[in-house]
A = this chain, B = another copy of it.
């Protein structure tokens, strides 16, 4: 039952279904759900919403507790603040970190917690490095994710495209998405790995609006320093990363605005 609920976040599973599956009385299933609810709460796994009555059931909503969130963000800061990650041009090598299932699962939980009380129909990102984050968040929210592309993928059929100014290079670029990817009226969560000037996430937000959808929120893994005015929308960042401030401290990652936005002022 634990496994079944964990694998289907935000889905209501009826008492009758469990009763049939485990050949048990609804009353004992109901008792077991109460124990599970308490355990999930004690362990900070998430919320098990139980709906009473004959048509009732249970729905698992994953979240992360404030202390665990703060601790995990501190861990990420420590991991990112490694001088070996600094690449030419002040870029940061994150591919190893964002290729670890356990790290992605925790990032997914962090971001899903922010939107746990909202309706999200889709997660949207742009290829390549945003994809693992989008997939991790989509898993926790149990909704599909969609990938916009900077190159033209000929297998996507009819597309919608927007031009955007890449903030870090001030060049004009183009990104596109398959027309059939986002049904009109969807509430879309935008995620990406890293924001500098903010042009990319602005472009993603334009794509969402072009397809008559709504931007439900924007959250990124890392936010870099940017000299100049950000063109971008309002967004949440897990980390704030500054590179090449000095020879002795080539990279410094600190918590982004996530804790403040999700859990309020005090840490």
Residues of B within 8 A of A131 (CB): 127-128, 131-132, 135
Question: Digit string of A117-160 for contact with B (CB within 8 Å is 1, else 0)?
Answer: 00000000001110110011011001111110101011111000
Which of chain A's residues 156-207 have a Cβ closer than 8 Å to chain B?
156-157, 178, 180-181
Number of interface residues of A (CB under 8 A): 47
Q: Is A104 an interface residue (CB 8 A)?
A: yes
Stretch at the interface among A94-102, A234-242, A258-266: A94-102
Q: Is A208 an interface residue (CB 8 A)?
A: no
Measured in the bound complex, the distance between the Cα atoms of B99 and A139 in whole Å is 10
Q: B157 touching A87 by the CB < 8 A rule? A: yes
Interface residues in A68-91 (C-beta closer than 8 Å to B): 87-89, 91
Tell whether, in the assembled complex, residue A93 and residue B155 are in contact, meaning their CB atoms are under 8 Å apart: yes
CB distance from A61 to the nearest CB of B (A): 14
CA gap between A74 and B151 in the complex, in Å: 33
Asked if A246 is at the interface (CB within 8 A of a chain B CB), the reply is no
- Give the complex CA separation of A132 and B131 in angstroms: 8
Query: What are the 6 closest A-B residue pairs judged by CB atoms, nearest first?
Result: A91-B155, A2-B2, A101-B139, A127-B128, A99-B144, A131-B131
Q: Name 12 extra pairs, CB < 8 A, besides A128-B153, A135-B135.
A: A6-B6, A7-B102, A88-B157, A92-B155, A93-B178, A99-B145, A104-B139, A127-B127, A127-B128, A128-B128, A132-B135, A135-B136
Interface residues of A (CB under 8 A from B): 2-3, 6-8, 43, 45, 87-89, 91-96, 99-102, 104-105, 127-129, 131-132, 135-136, 138-139, 142-147, 149, 151, 153-157, 178, 180-181
9 A-B contact pairs sorted by A residue (CB < 8 Å): A2-B2, A3-B6, A87-B156, A92-B155, A93-B156, A93-B178, A102-B142, A127-B127, A128-B128
